[in-house]
Amino acid sequence: MSEPRYSIGIDLGTTHCALSYVDFAGSDGEKTTQDVLPITQLTAPATIDDLPLLPSFLYLPHPSELAPFDLGLPWTGGRDFAVGEMARSRGAATPIRLVSSAKSWLCHPGVDRRAAILPNDAPPEVTRVSPLETSIRYLTHLREAWDHAHPDAPFGEQEITVTIPASFDPAARELTAEAAQTAGYTGMTLLEEPQAALYSWIQKSNGQWRKQVRVGDIILVVDVGGGTTDLSLIAVIEREGNLELHRVAVGEHILLGGDNMDLALAHVVARKLAALGTQPDPWQLRALTYACRSAKETLLSDATVDTVPLVVPSRGAKLIGGSIRTELTRAELTQTILDGFFPQVESAARPVSRARVGLTQLGLPYAQDAAITRHLAAFLGRQVAALAELEGLQAMQPEGASFLHPTAVLFNGGVFKSPLLVERIMQTLNGWLAAEGAAPARLLEGADLDLAVARGAAYYGYVKRGKGVRIRGGIARAFYIAVESAMPAVPGLEPPVQALCVAPFGMEEGTEAELPAQEFGLVVGEPVHFRFFGSSVRRQDQVGTLLDYWTPDELQELEEIEATLPPEGRSPGEVVPVKLHARVTEAGTLELEAIPRGTGERWKVEFDVRGNAGV
């Protein structure tokens, strides 16, 4: 493989994908030559256009729905599906054949991510695809679009970085890496999206970032995408005279984003229409959602506008006679978006979670509480001790703080184009800080809200080669497996379990954990399941630490892991003692191995992604 010419960054988003690249030859130090690839895609049948973003939608057409060549791309005629803009627009009228939010399905612990389950409301006749396969198709399209545009610099020979939410669990990370591998991405690295956003901000500052942050700063990254909200804390420390960035904490996975806001507004307006006797049909509701999005953007960016007229066009050719006319007022927007998604709450507020009603429909586990500020309060509260382990920063937090005090905030995601929303979060956060006598946090300006993640990912591939500042931090969780206590069984009670730490917090890419002392008996030829836990707060546990007790807030149960010892050289049914060993790959995934006693063998332990975890 020849030396890469470009560092390619790919934002594999819930609603949009983007590709940015840094030219190694044209970059030196903190000055980089960077571009965004216009992605060649179908925008309508037989129509090819280059757009800056690839909408993350997959459309599975009926065989007689399209003419031959309607799905052809400049590099292939052999596709029987469409991704991108055509999929999005065509699927709006035929949702039973549209796959959307594949990324949210990819990290949904309740379903089998390798099984063909999408679109989840499709009739049996439609050939479904798996969340994994959908991601493979988006990634493949991006690779092919690159190769078409750069025949002289094949994709496979470049430095590739793919972004994931910081809150992705090890199984979702591994699935993303597997999708990339299958799509022909060799030597790919995963990067957390909030980190990518910060890299992009550093890159855009052309070296000026050192003047905007100082040692001891705690940067809160608030990334609200189309479908997810991702929170991270990054500390600025000094090591050997240089500023260093250290990612100290990441938030929970919150399925809540800009699309939820548009939908919420559309329902408000639909209710208003219904009160006047007009009942929008599903097609009109979608058009209304679309109209609400641009009305929202107008109201949120211009404080002098009080109402924005909304028109839902008729479906038929009678445009004037058949259109529905209504409006979105500032009061409705304030009530729905500002008070619904960004309410001014106390720092002690926590997201409300309702008990799920007995029979929930199998769908995406959307956040039950839409208030992003409450999720933020919970995150900062949970991470109050996040700096305790970090040298030089312990003294930065006041005694008795009830939440971790950030000193600077970086926003990412299209919804923050609105100064009103930025202001609302800053106000709320600074209110919390003032209540504890802390100085207000600063806003880090100049972020590129739409393309920051892709741009930051490309820049990361560049700094990885020693060309600039890197964000350290390693894995943002410690991982545990459940061990049954050696206690006499009590009828009617589950035997109590202990949690054994197998991977400590902060393991860096390309490192291995020590071998724990504990051994487990694996039955040869039979899959053995372990309950698996992660903790985003227990930073002090080492490999081998055994927990007898933990609060639900400390340890979250993840999907089970599964080890199977192949019967080679052993007799099936034999019990072999093994140790569990963790390592973090260069790509950024966690790998667990079972190592039998006294041999050099290593058996991979799989994350169970079939959706039978303790849901």
Partner 1 sequence: MTDSNVSFLGRISLAVGTFFSILGDGEFAARVQRLRSGAPLAETAAPTRAAPAAAPAPAPAPAPQPAAPALKQASPDAALQLLGLLQRDARFIDFVEEDVTAYSDADIGAAARVVHNGCRTVLREHFTIRPVRDEAEGSRVTLPEGFDATAIRLTGNVVGKAPFTGSISHRGWRVEDVRLPKLAASHDTAVIAPAEVEL
Q: Which stretch binds partner 1 (CB under 8 A): 125-133, 309-317, 433-441, 600-608?
A: 309-317
Q: Which is nearer to partner 1, 62 or 465 (CB)?
A: 62
Q: Which is nearer to partner 1, 312 or 584 (CB)?
A: 312
Q: Which is nearer to partner 1, 93 or 348 (CB)?
A: 93
Q: Minimum distance from CB of 570 to partner 1 (Å)?
A: 58
With CB under 8 A as the contact rule, the residue among 25, 63, 64, 68 that binds partner 1 is: 68
48 binds partner 1 (CB under 8 A): yes
285-318 b/e (C-beta count within 10 Å ≥ 16 → b): bbbbbebbbebbbebbeeeeeeebebebebeeee
Q: Which stretch binds partner 1 (CB under 8 A): 174-182, 321-329, 374-382, 602-610?
A: 321-329
With CB under 8 A as the contact rule, the residue among 76, 93, 348, 391 that binds partner 1 is: 93
Q: Minimum distance from CB of 46 to partner 1 (Å)?
A: 4
With CB under 8 A as the contact rule, the residue among 151, 277, 321, 598 that binds partner 1 is: 321
- Lay out the site mask for partner 1 across 363-402 (x = CB under 8 A, - = otherwise): ----------------------------------------
Q: Are the beta carbons of 27 and 467 closer than 8 angstroms?
A: yes
With CB under 8 A as the contact rule, the residue among 31, 214, 239, 325 that binds partner 1 is: 325
With CB under 8 A as the contact rule, the residue among 116, 303, 319, 434 that binds partner 1 is: 319
Q: Which is nearer to partner 1, 31 or 325 (CB)?
A: 325
317 binds partner 1 (CB under 8 A): yes
Judged by CB under 8 A, the chain residues 531 through 560 that form the site for partner 1 are none
Judged by CB under 8 A, the chain residues 209 through 268 that form the site for partner 1 are none
Q: Which is nearer to partner 1, 22 or 308 (CB)?
A: 308
282 binds partner 1 (CB under 8 A): no
Element (H, E) at 40: strand 39-44
With CB under 8 A as the contact rule, the residue among 26, 31, 44, 540 that binds partner 1 is: 44
Q: Minimum distance from CB of 66 to partner 1 (Å)?
A: 11
**Cβ neighbours of residue 603 under 8 Å, at least 6 residues apart?**
563, 564, 565, 566, 578, 593, 594, 595, 596
Q: Is the peptide bond before 567 cis (omega within 30 degrees of 0)?
A: no
124 binds partner 1 (CB under 8 A): no
Q: Are the beta carbons of 441 and 411 closer than 8 angstroms?
A: no
Q: Which stretch binds partner 1 (CB under 8 A): 157-165, 319-327, 376-384, 449-457?
A: 319-327
Element (H, E) at 48: strand 47-51
Q: Which residue has the tokens 């007995």?
A: 358
Q: Minimum distance from CB of 8 to partner 1 (Å)?
A: 24
Element (H, E) at 224: strand 218-224
Question: Measuring CA to CA, how many Å separate 343 from each of 254, 268, 440?
Answer: 17, 18, 19
Q: Is the sign of the CA dihedral 420, 425, 429, 435 positive or negative?
A: positive
Q: Are the beta carbons of 609 and 559 closer than 8 angstroms?
A: yes
With CB under 8 A as the contact rule, the residue among 26, 28, 31, 47 that binds partner 1 is: 47
With CB under 8 A as the contact rule, the residue among 23, 35, 49, 509 that binds partner 1 is: 49
Q: Minimum distance from CB of 317 to partner 1 (Å)?
A: 5
Q: Which stretch binds partner 1 (CB under 8 A): 2-10, 178-186, 318-326, 574-582?
A: 318-326
306 binds partner 1 (CB under 8 A): no
Q: Which stretch binds partner 1 (CB under 8 A): 44-52, 196-204, 213-221, 574-582?
A: 44-52
Distance CA 72, CA 42 (A): 8
Distance CA 31, CA 467 (A): 10
DSSP assignment, residue 572?
T
DSSP assignment, residue 466?
I
Q: Which is nearer to partner 1, 115 or 149 (CB)?
A: 149
With CB under 8 A as the contact rule, the residue among 25, 275, 320, 490 that binds partner 1 is: 320
Distance CA 520, CA 516 (A): 11
Q: Which stretch binds partner 1 (CB under 8 A): 6-14, 123-131, 310-318, 558-566?
A: 310-318
Q: Is residue 251 classed exposed, middle or buried when 0-12, 13-18 and 19+ CB atoms within 10 A define those classes?
A: buried
Residue ranges in 325-394 assigned as alpha helix (H) = 330-333, 339-341, 372-382
Around 16, how many Cα atoms within 13 Å sit in the side-chain half-sphere?
20
Name the nearest CA neighbour of 56 among 93, 106, 22, 3.
Answer: 106
- In this structure, the dihedral spanned by the alpha carbons of residues 109, 111, 115 and 121, taken in order and rounded to 10 degrees, is -130
Binding site for partner 1 (CB under 8 A): 43-50, 67-70, 72, 74, 93, 294, 309, 311, 313, 315, 317-321, 323, 325
